[in-house]
Structure 1
């Protein structure tokens, strides 16, 4: 059973999947940083200093000044966080679209390239020459 598990775990597809998950996690962190540290401040500047992270609607309790305090006070809809996550999703989806588009373009180029002519082995060429010489005699 251990041998079977080792064969399963070390198959090429399983290792590729693990690498993809690790790279995906790192990419997600990068996108979060781009959105939170670069894009959202620019959007906030354009919209007059609006900070999306603290945008919420408090459904229960007394009105609070921060999102954390509003969540402690009761039911709260944090739509600013949703807007930030939506922007994260759109960026990730766009980058993945570009990656797949590039891979498809490379695949089409490979398929369109003419296949190289097969090289005839030296022994076969020599045998053909010998056959032709014997046929002349």
Structure 2
């Protein structure tokens, strides 16, 4: 029973719940960005570059199986058949995904930071009134000299 109570205390901490919400929202956000990249941005980039399809950029490393029934120019078909390849076009797409996610997260953090009220700097301590320590020590020294 004690382990369940300890687990409940662990889960009830605010930062654990915040992290769980962040992971769930991040996963959904990642799907949106992937869709944006693959369905909107990369086709526009392909159009601007003269119809270049980044999924067609790959290097085949191994032989195509004899039972292969797809197009030897299709990265998706070859990948499904288990042909070893370097898909640098897919890497370009995923890099664009990453840059978009990183930039949007930067904007969100920047916006959140501007909304959070910054704590005021502590006021400088008031200047002491009256003589300073050095002045008092000087007076004491002079008084001792005058007596002696």
Q: TM-score range by the shorter chain?
A: 0.7 to 0.9
Counterpart of 1:91 (choices 87, 92, 100) is 100
* Unmatched runs of 5 consecutive residues or more in structure 2: 65-70, 121-148
Name the structure with the higher helix share.
1
* Unmatched runs of 5 consecutive residues or more in structure 1: 113-137
Q: What is the RMSD computed on CA atoms of the aligned residues?
A: 2.2
**CA deviation digits over 1:54-93, x for unaligned, max 9?**
2211122259221134343632110111011000000000
Do 1:58 and 1:75's aligned partners in 2 also have CA atoms closer than 8 Å?
A: yes
Larger radius of gyration: 2
Q: Distance in 2 between matches of 1:29 and 1:73?
A: 25
| Matched pairs, number | 113
The SS at the match of 1:64 is coil
- The alignment's TM-score, normalised by the length of structure 1, stands at 0.73
- The alignment's TM-score, normalised by the length of structure 2, stands at 0.68
